Each structure stands twice: as structure tokens, then as C-alpha cells.
Amino acid sequence: MSAPDLESRRGILNPDAAERHFRLTRYAPSEDLAHLVDRHWVVAWDLEQPFTQEVVSHPSFHMVFEPGAHLIYGVVSQRFRRQLQRSGIAVATKFRPGAFHAFHPVPAHALTDRTFPITDVFGPISTEGDERVRIAAMEEGMRARGFEDDPRIAELTGLFAAMLDGITTVDELCAHAGYSKRTLQRLFREYVGVSPKWVLSRFRLHEAADRMADGEHDWPRLALELGFFDQAHFIKAFKAVIGRSPADYGLKTSTM
């Protein structure tokens, strides 16, 4: 099982601007929960003027304690915006794809683009103390809730590692898993909440936005390396998810 990349900015649009407006800190989970929890994360801000951050989400559930709301987030299928103002802190857990099913075994697709109270699953969890103390309380809440030992979650962890390692099509993923498309789609629908095609597309666009934020602007090469049919297909997919063309996004990240 791969360890989370705690330095990754993937999914955060215009990451350099983000770093100037809030602190993002990631923490690795305790060893006994690492097969279910990808990471814990903390966002803290103290702003004179409001700042709006856009995020292109990952195929994961999150448990988030933020000012005025303590919620479980199912997979968010669209780009979303969050306005930060004055000062505050959010303390959260990002579960591995499919792993929230171990705590709450209902079909994940029924929770896509939905939120519900943390207490519905984990009961009351203390929000006292500093961020490390609060993360420890969140982990204790998970242990107290208990979780199923489900081999399909470990299987999904392996499939997601394969996708991040270079698989770019559903056919390739089916061959790797030894499943038909229908079986693979059922697995993702039940445990992840979105389709294999959605995940593969999202990972490619995360990679594209990440590389562009680092200064890459060779669209034809980027489209080819990420498995798009051609540059036009890449531009269309990028704009549909990121909200602007690659050229516009590259310009924005280079001038902010």
C-alpha cells in the first residue's frame, strides 16, 4: 500500500495563489487506520479580504470540521468553490477511495454530491484542543465506530495505484483487474460513488493542471502523454472540468 504524498497540491487550482492566502497542512494517519485513511488535512486562514478557492475534487469521501458545520462529504463530482473570510480553521480526514464504505456500508453513489452530519456515522467527536489533538479525537471516533474488514477496499486501493501509475483507459483497467466493464462499474458505483471513466478522466486533468501550474504549456505533448485522442479533445475536457481553457488557466497561474 502506497503512502500518501503529503506535499501534493493536486486538485487545488492556482496553488501558488492559494499558498499566499491560507495554510494547508497534511498529516499521515495512524498505522492501524492507514488502509482506510489517505491523510488528515488542516486549512487555517486569517484574511483582511475574502478569498475564493476553487478545487477539482478527488474520488474520496471527507470528514470535515469547519466553522459552523461538521459534515461528511461524499465525492464531489464538479469543480467547487469555497470562500474564506476573516479567520478560521478546518480540520478534516480524507478517506482512501472506496474506504468510507467500511464505516458506512451504504451504496456510495447514493452519497455523491451530498453531505450529512458526522454524528450520523461516528457520534460526537471532540473539537477541543489544537489540530493534532483534534485529529487524534477523530481517529478515536473511527476506532470507536469500528469498521468492516472488506477485501474489496484493498482491491480498490490497488486499482487506484495502477491508475495513478499510468493506466488511462477503462479497457486497460478491466484487463488489470480481470473484470468485465459491468463488474468494474458495479464495484465503483457501490464503493467509490463515481464510474471508472470519471476517475480516469479526473486523474488526467489533475495531472494536467498540476503540470501547467508548474509552467508546462506544450498542449500537444501534454495531451499525448495523458492519453487524450488529440489536442482538441484535451482542451474540451480541460475546460469542462477546470472551467477555463488550458491557455487561460496557464496564463492565470503564471500571473497570480
Please give the Cα distance from 152 to 102 (Å, whole number): 10
Tell me the pLDDT tens digit for each residue of 174-217.
Answer: 999 999 999 999 999 999 999 999 999 999 999 888 888 887 77
Please give the Cα distance from 61 to 64 (Å, whole number): 10
Closest CA to 17 of 58, 57, 49: 49
CB 209 within 8 A of CB 58: no
Cα–Cα distances in angstroms (integers) from residue 153 to residues 51, 56, 156, 187, 250, in the given order: 37, 23, 5, 10, 37
Across 96-229, where does the E strand assignment appear? 115-117
Domains annotated on the chain, with CATH: 15-145 (no CATH), 151-255 (1.10.10.60)
Q: What is the mean pLDDT of residues 63-67?
A: 96
Exposed / middle / buried, residue 153 (Cβ in 10 Å: 0-12, 13-18, 19+): buried
The predicted structure's pLDDT at residue 7: 61
Pick from 23-32, 143-152, 236-245: least confident: 236-245
Name which residue leads in pLDDT, 5 or 131: 131
Percent of the chain with pLDDT over 70: 95
Q: What are phi and psi of 22, to 5 degrees?
A: -155, 160
Residue 41, all three cell numbers: 488535512
Name which residue leads in pLDDT, 219 or 29: 29
Element (H, E) at 205: helix 196-213
Pick from 38-47, 89-98, 234-243: least confident: 234-243
